[in-house]
Structure 1
């Protein structure tokens, strides 16, 4: 299982991931995967948990939404979550995304949830 953790403190945000790729429930296939990436002109950082192909699909979807909404992460995340929840093909994706920029820290899930941590 993947571990992605993010902390926001005093206006600064940090994110870390374990880099582990697991096949099935118990076979560790790789320990050096890069699950944290910078997107949208290096203004947004994402970390993802779940299937790699699913996570890449979600990354591409979020990047498209960020382009559509001029980098507004909050709006892009809500639009992405709505699309994810409504589209039967996307509903099969098994991944979660943590995304942040200089203003927002958000957890985006396939259930259509966009959660912002408490201060």
Structure 2
């Protein structure tokens, strides 16, 4: 099966780059704005990074948009149930995501952060805290991650670091553009 086709034979929306950078007390999550279907740019200015739980949590998604919105809604409910404790809410969401028949079919990844922690959430039930405070997902994720790791010794501002890494990813990955949305928690 072609990697751009869903099991029903229709082309799937894909392509995104999301990066999270935590340096000291500041954490940023940045994402590009491109939504692609096959080789066509369908929307250049999508907002894939947003604030959750009264602004105390930030998150970015890669994958199917409707699936990501479903996961954001579920995470919001878990945050409410666990009084804003991101780690606990993330673990509970990951359990549901892995075991719930409906959620198991969702195709998305998330990077989420609060003032204390930066996490990657996957449909396999993973809640990962990245080494070195840098995480990236999506089609350009490896490019952004590599750029950020190379630059982290020279740049201590997480916003500047994330923007530079996103610029590198947009220059290399055809499914990533340079229209960056960025949210910060400090």
1:67, distance to aligned residue in structure 2 (A): 0.3
Instruction: Spell out the pairing of 1:1-119 with structure 2 (5 A cutoff).
Output: 1-23=15-37, 25-119=38-132
Counterpart secondary structure, 1:70: coil
User: Which structure's relative contact order is higher, taking Cα pairs within 8 Å and 6+ residues apart?
Assistant: 2
1:89, distance to aligned residue in structure 2 (A): 1.1
1:86, distance to aligned residue in structure 2 (A): 0.2
Q: How many pairs are equivalent?
A: 118
TM-score for the superposition, normalised by structure 1 = 0.96
Unaligned runs of 5+ in 2: 1-14, 133-186
Alpha-carbon distance in structure 1 between the residues aligned to 2:20 and 2:101: 30
1:15, distance to aligned residue in structure 2 (A): 1.5
1:20, distance to aligned residue in structure 2 (A): 1.0
Counterpart secondary structure, 2:131: coil
Unaligned runs of 5+ in 1: none
The match for 2:171 is: none
Q: Can you list the C-alpha shifts for 1:26-78, whole angstroms capped at 9, x where unaligned?
A: 22100100001001011000100111100000000000000000000000000
Alpha-carbon distance in structure 2 between the residues aligned to 1:89 and 1:68: 21
Alpha-carbon distance in structure 2 between the residues aligned to 1:27 and 1:113: 32
RMSD (CA atoms): 0.8
> Which runs of at least 4 in structure 1 moved beyond 4 Å after TM superposition?
none
More helix by share: 2
1:87, distance to aligned residue in structure 2 (A): 0.9
